[in-house]
Chain A
Amino acid sequence: MKQIAIVAYQQTDSVSDAGAVNEVELIMPVLARTFKQAGLKSAQDVGFTCSGSCDYLQGAAFAFVAGVDALGAVPPIKESHVEMDAAWALYESMLKIRMGHADSALIYGFGKSSPGELPIVLSQQLDPYYLAPLWVDSISLAAMQARIMLDRGLITERDMAEVVSRSRRNAMNNPHAQLSGDISPEDVLAEETYLSPLRKADCCPVSDGASAMIIATVEQAKAWGLPYVIISGIDHCIETHNLGMRDLTDSVSTRIAANRAGMNAGKVDVAELYAPFSHQEIILTRALGLDEGTSVNPSGGVLAGNLMMASGLSRIGEVFNRIVKGEARRGIAHATSGPCLQHNLVTVLEQGENA
């Protein structure tokens, strides 16, 4: 089986409102930087292109089609799209390469969440008979999940505040972060509750932005002469939509995906976890059995900026960056979708020979 590697990754700043920027204008600069990093000119130079986005975010039907204008798709290219986070576009691209239909792929994700009321937009991904008509927002569902953890003594509010504090402090070294600062757990605890038991700081911000990645077979990466990081495993797993039937204090699907992706075959130096709420980082860390030997969310994670449909790909890109810089040899990246960590994808990344 051909080994597949990441050779380039770029993202925009995470901003609360991208203002007068349409889809193409949001994507094009980050694609240009990604092509430059890989020494390529356009999507003509890769075998496959796949993007992740969701038209409901900005309320523009088929907005992802406009994104194709950023690619240079004349003559026509092999292209696909997932109405999901671009981490799943990476998954599709890997299948395409594994099937022998391409030797390389461009993956990008973008989200402009600022035009709508994101927590309400996300209510419409719920059961259409019993929940969507009630307009149960995504923050309220996470708040109920957090309360179960607090009630059962599985976490304390201080544990949650420590996650926020570490995110803000780590994000001070992340030039793309939207929220960063030298914030202590005490500072967080001093905040009043927002959607009890959550404080505003426990919740990821609403963000606009995009990220992009190029992957290739190891042979192709070597031919290009680029530093590369091997994707040694990837898998994803989903749980029932019925929140009452899930164990919301655990993430069984993340654990299964991680095991299948081969996480436990070696030491995990770094983990980037897609936890839109502070308590969810604790759920994920425990579900994966990570200990002090693993640096968790050194980028600040999505509490520092949540690019819907791109932040899952960004988690993978952040681990790629750490390994390329030599700060880690092996890491995992996690992406999520749906309420209360319903659907989870885990990628295992390992240093290539010349990274």
Chain B
Amino acid sequence: MSQEKNMSDDQDVITGIKAPVYLKYNFTAGAAPARFLAQIKKGVLTGQRCPKCSAVYVPPRGSCASCGVATEEEVVLSDKATVQSFTIVSIPIPGNPIQPPYIIANVVPDGANISFIHLLSECVNEEIHIGQRVQAVWKPEAEWDYAMDNIRYFKPLDEADVPVDRIGKLPVTGLEG
């Protein structure tokens, strides 16, 4: 594997080796993720509802982690969401092309009970707060693929904040619905 020179403490004595391991795989999305990805390719966010506790998961993995049962009922969600938590990233992360500072947030789409992580933009970083209303900014339709980054980021909405105890509990119609 390694055609490069190995490490040595002088010209003659080997004290370390480079031994990289590269393995090839063919990843297959599970049934629930595949259905989610097929919908997001059409610009639709879908979750799955637990038959026992009614929690709606997005993106769904096929089970309710609380109850340990299969989630099958699919639920179309809004692309409006609420910020559940966030962090302002001020340092460059190796391999990440996004220039700091930027915001990573846990957002809960209306109609779902579980947050997912995405970017926030078109905002004043210092003004973002928990309970902030946001909406997805989508790529042009021609670029949609089986991918979460069909949504470029979420941007603030001019709507009233969601009280902390209602975050993750909004219907698909939002705070007023």
Contact = CB atoms under 8 A, between A and B. Distances in A.
Interface of A: 19-25, 28-29, 31-32, 42-43, 56, 58-60, 66, 68-74, 114-117, 120-121, 124, 128-129, 132-133
Given A28-B62, A70-B63, A72-B68, A20 B25 contact: no
Nearest first, the 3 A-B pairs at minimum CB distance are A22-B30, A72-B68, A59-B25
A63 to B, nearest CB: 11
Interface in B23-39: 23-34
A251 B34 CA distance: 45
A300 B114 CA distance: 45
Nearest to A74: B66
A42 B23 contact: no
B23 A22 contact: no
A42 B64 CA distance: 12
A28 B69 CA distance: 7
Interface residues of B, number: 27
A21 B32 CA distance: 8
A59 B1 CA distance: 20
10 contacts: A20-B28, A20-B31, A24-B30, A24-B61, A28-B69, A69-B68, A72-B68, A73-B68, A74-B66, A115-B26
Interface in B55-111: 61-70
B23 A56 contact: yes
Contact of A116 (B23, B34, B62): B23
A114 B24 CA distance: 11
A20 B23 contact: no
Given A21-B30, A24-B30, A25-B32, A69 B65 contact: yes
Contacts of B29: 20, 22
A129 B25 CA distance: 24
B30 A31 contact: no
B13 interface: no
Given A25-B63, A116-B25, 17 more contacts: A20-B31, A21-B31, A22-B30, A23-B30, A24-B62, A24-B63, A25-B70, A59-B25, A66-B61, A69-B64, A71-B68, A72-B68, A74-B67, A115-B28, A116-B26, A124-B21, A133-B2
